[in-house]
Amino acid sequence: MSTASGIVGYGTYVPRFRIKPEEIARIWGEEPERIRKGLGLEEKSVPDLDEDAATMAVEASKNALKMSQIDAEKIGAVYIGSESHPYAVKPTATIVAQALGATPEMTAADLEFACKAGTAAIQIGMGLVSSNMAEYVLAAGADTSQGRPGDALEYSAGAGAASFLIGRQKSQFVAELEGTYSFTTDTPDFWRRQHAHFPSHGGRFTGAPAYFRHVLGATQGLFEKYGYTASDFDYFVFHQPNGKFPLEAARKLGIDTKKVMAGLMTPKIGNTYSGASIIGLCSVLDVAKPGQKILLTSFGSGAGSDSFVINTTDLLPEARKRVVHNLAWYVNRKTYLDYGLYVKHRRKLKSL
Amino acid sequence: MAENIAITWRRIPERYMLEGSSCSTCNTKYFPLRKLCPKCRRKGKLERMRFSGEGEIYSFSQINSAPAGLELQAPYILAIIKLKEGPKLTAQIVEASEKDVKIGDKVDQVFRAIRTDEPEGLIHYGYKFRKI
Ligand SMILES: [Zn+2]
């Protein structure tokens, strides 16, 4: 793609509440060190009772708008990726668009592709702005995901959102979206049926044939398509269902794991599903210098990966100063819950 | 009891974006929307405006036994907020208990679910406030 698309503003949101693996392990008689070391998780975020994918996407998007200094009415499309949309039928994107003041002269839709619905939204945004179908597109990923009580996912399923305002004027880019490449197959590694509260997954099957095949496939495909090698990049952000998989992906690709650490947020906030890889990207954008190259590869069960080449610009440092509530602000403010309060927050009682 | 859908729908600009009115004759701001300026009467000219969402706690109390639909949230703080632009409104303060808030605390608007008609009804969204 002869690109004319870039990020003109980005924002994140992480709820205030946290629970530690020790506290969940205490209830189920598990060994907490096994979780901490095995999954690389220190704690995870938990949403408040009045929060969902829509409210989190709104706050993340307000931060993105603040950074961009662009009037919400100029947004031509809003795409929200999530696997925990608050309604089964009724779009989240209309709620978000209305709360931002972007309606009515615009289009909107919800996207679903497990944990990669947020990067799918970014790709659609790139297409719309570079084809002049929209001046600005808001693309967000947000999830308040649930793990079945006692399941391994209960230790990792967190809540959070990231939002990107994508534009086509280079003079406004805080980071240029140079190119993208996707790798997609039909793989039954993780699913949730229509009326089920909690997802089912293929256990160990989620590793090699699902996560690694697609993440490596998309990343290597991107290298080939654009003529890059791993050493061309300053940072790598991979989808992070836990704290271990992205580091293992880096090793398999021969990447110095130091280049992955700045974008590794799951150990502190849990796996935020549609938010996970793109919150990681925001974490890198919050520290990157102008003129650096970032590789982002998402993963969504089912399964697919979207890979991106992202170049930071000279505008980035000034743009960051306009946002008080950056990722570090959300990550550092926290209130710990015990399992009893956690159950109340996640309304798990009915399912126990 | 579920809120009437027409009322919910009409209140979306007010609840989502803090839309109110400003009188261009006397410069008084009103929240929620008004059709008539009580100061200027027929001379008044009301225009729609969006409040910034910044304000401070004017008074508050802790709600221990919540109305239907909010039981799980209790105890929570219900406060009268004085918006920076002048008007006052009543709203929940999120992420706070009695010991965390005092009169005069600066707050900012956040977007949250304000009630949920369980089990199959609408989720109503709107403004709440958070300490800065
Ligand atoms: Zn007046």
Retrieve residue B17's tokens: 């974006």
Q: In the prediction, which pLDDT does B119 show?
A: 80
**B1 pLDDT tier (thresholds 50, 70, 90):** low
Domain ranges of chain A: 6-174+317-351, 177-315
Distance, CA of A281 to CA of A276 (rounded, Å): 9
Q: Contact at 8 Å (CB) between A259 and A235?
A: yes
Task: Check for a shared fold between A6-174+317-351 and A177-315.
Answer: yes
Q: Is A239 a catalytic residue?
A: yes
Contact A48 B114 (CB under 8 A): no
- Whether B131 has its CB under 8 Å from any CB of chain A: the answer is no
Whether the bond into B32 is cis, omega within 30 of 0: yes
Ligand 1 mean position, distance from CA B89 (Å): 19
Q: Contact at 8 Å (CB) between A300 and A318?
A: no
Contact B17 A101 (CB under 8 A): yes
| Tens-level pLDDT at each residue, chain A (352 residues) | 445 899 999 999 999 999 999 999 998 888 888 888 888 999 999 999 999 999 999 999 999 999 999 999 999 999 999 999 999 999 999 999 999 999 999 999 999 999 999 999 999 999 999 999 999 999 999 999 888 888 888 999 999 999 999 999 999 999 999 999 999 999 988 888 877 777 787 777 777 889 999 999 999 999 999 999 999 999 999 999 999 999 999 999 999 999 999 999 999 999 999 999 999 999 999 999 999 999 999 999 999 999 999 999 999 999 999 999 999 999 999 999 999 999 888 875 554 3
- Chain A residues near residue B72 by CB distance under 8 angstroms: 49, 344, 347
Q: Where are the beta strands (DSSP E) in B2-122?
A: 19-23, 29-30, 46-50, 54-63, 76-83, 88-93, 106-116
- Any idea which architecture A6-174+317-351 has in CATH? 3-Layer(aba) Sandwich (3.40)
Q: Contact at 8 Å (CB) between B130 and B94?
A: yes
Distance, CA of B33 to CA of A179 (rounded, Å): 46
Per-residue pLDDT at B19 exceeds 90: yes
Distance, CA of A36 to CA of A30 (rounded, Å): 11
**B68 pLDDT tier (thresholds 50, 70, 90):** confident
- Whether A336 has its CB under 8 Å from any CB of chain B: the answer is no
Retrieve residue B46's tokens: 């009301």
- Whether A166 has its CB under 8 Å from any CB of chain B: the answer is no
Question: Is the four-CA dihedral B108, B109, B110, B112 of positive or negative sign?
Answer: positive
Annotated catalytic residue within A115, A154, A214, A282: A115
Q: What's this model's pTM, rounded to 2 decimal places?
A: 0.96
State how far residue B2 is from chain A, nearest Cα, in angstroms.
Answer: 17
Q: In the prediction, which pLDDT does A310 show?
A: 98
Given 3-state DSSP classes, what are the helix, strand and coil percentages for chain B, each rounded to the nearest 5?
A: 15, 45, 40
Annotated catalytic residue within A85, A214, A239, A345: A239
Helix (H) or strand (E) holding A9: strand A6-13
Ligand 1 mean position, distance from CA B39 (Å): 5
> Which distant-in-sequence residues (6+ apart) come within 8 Å of A317 by Cβ?
A289, A290
Torsion of CA A114, A116, A122, A125, to 10 degrees: -40
A80 class by beta-carbon count within 10 Å (0-12 exposed, 13-18 middle, 19+ buried)? buried
Name the one residue in this structure whose structure tokens are 């406060």. Answer: B79
Rounded to an integer, the average pLDDT of B53-71 is 91
How crowded is residue A176: how many other Cβ atoms within 10 Å of its Cβ?
A: 17
Q: Looking at the domain covering A177-315, what would its CATH class be? A: alpha beta
Which residue of A46, A50, A94 to mutate against B (max B Cβ within 10 Å)? A50
What are φ and ψ of residue B129, in 5° steps? -130, 155
Tell me: ipTM over 0.85.
yes
- Whether A16 has its CB under 8 Å from any CB of chain B: the answer is yes
